[in-house]
Amino acid sequence: MIKRLLLFITAGLILTSCIEINVHYIINPDKSGKVETSYLMPVDPMGFGVTLENPEAKAMEEMYKMFDEYPGVATWNNIKYEYINDSADLVISATGYFDNFNSLKEKGILPYEIQKEGKDTYFTFKTYLDSVHTEEGKSELKSLDELGITEKDLQDSVRKLKRNFKKGLGMFAMMMGNIEFNTTYEFAGSISTPNGSKIGDGTKFKVGLDGLKFQNYMMEEMDNDEYYESLIRGASPFDVDTEPSENQEMKKMVLEFLSGEKEDISKIKVDFGKPKFDYKKELKKAKKDWDSWKKKNAKYKEETNMKKS
């Protein structure tokens, strides 16, 4: 469960060239809302001294990439970009509007949903966890005699497997070390744990992923001789039912790692009140702004699509 949750968390980060991502969801009682995004990325991430021939085209290309990452958001406004730090970094930002938070594909770091349980409303990713925490067919681990190797051969194989894994993780680790991803969830109402303890500031909370910390965390988690030995003996890679570290304490540690708090953020009770903003009014204005922006920058959309193909 936890390994798959961690893979879920990193999937979006692997696909983006962004270094710093800040996402702020504001959610109304009817699940409508808006997402305020801000991305910072280096113009020359490898440090080769590359100068952009067309800074505007680069900014537009990155904006369209950002929009594509939010397929459930149909309307955007407040679209801005600027080059900072002597044009070494590009910052892009925009505000998107959605009809239903649950219909979004991109929901920040964790796969949250708004669910009803009787009269109560919860913000949770229990559905996702339940979907992956299924009993799978467990492999029978083979003995040394069945493998036809000695204990020394086994330990040599464990060392080689671990070393190869670390080599393969090298590029990923370098990339992750430079990423910072923060998501804030804000509600039109109060939030608490199911037993009534306050979450965050009482109306919003933040989860974050510091790439360097995450890199170290994953390296430590996978530095496990018992796990590699089980692979050699015939276990399935990333088998959540056989990994030695897979337990409830591990889940708590991951959630604390993301939230920075000693609180369980997997299930949050939401008592909605009045809407945070007039969704229909803002949406109407945003649609006009969005149509105007798309018309003005249509040529950049065509160029971006040509690069994809």
CA distance 59 to 65: 10
Range of lowest pLDDT (49-63, 102-116, 125-139): 125-139
Flag whether 306 is in a domain: no
pLDDT, position 261: 56
Task: Report yes or no on 307 lying in a domain.
Answer: no
pLDDT class of 1 with cuts at 50, 70, 90 = very low
pLDDT in tens, 153-188: 989 988 888 887 776 665 555 556 667 888 999 999
The pLDDT score that the predictor gives to residue 106 is 85
Q: Residue 2: is its pLDDT beyond 50?
A: no
Structure-token match 């681990």, residue found: 141
The rounded mean pLDDT for the chain is 79
The verdict on residue 74 lying in a domain is yes
Q: Sorting pLDDT into bands at 50, 70 and 90, what band is 117? A: very high
Please name which of 13, 61, 5, 2 lies closest in space to residue 182, comparing C-alpha atoms.
13
User: Which residues constitute the domain of residue 67?
Assistant: 2-301
Torsion of CA 280, 282, 287, 292, to 10 degrees: 160
* 223 within domain boundaries: yes
Q: Is residue 176 part of a domain?
A: yes
Q: Which residues touch 242 (CB under 8 Å, ≥6 apart)?
A: 138, 139, 230, 235, 236
Contacts of 253 (CB under 8 A, 6+ apart): none
Q: Which of the pair, 283 or 52, is modelled with greater confidence?
A: 283
With a cut of 80, say whether residue 144 has pLDDT above it. Answer: yes
Is residue 52 situated within a structural domain?
Answer: yes
178/56: higher pLDDT: 56
In a domain, 254, yes or no: yes
Q: For residue 168, what pLDDT is reported?
A: 63
Rounded CA-CA distance 245/141 in Å is 18
pLDDT band for position 15 (cuts 50, 70, 90): very low
pLDDT number for residue 111: 85
Whether residue 276 lies inside any domain: the answer is: yes
Structurally, how many domains does the chain consist of? 1
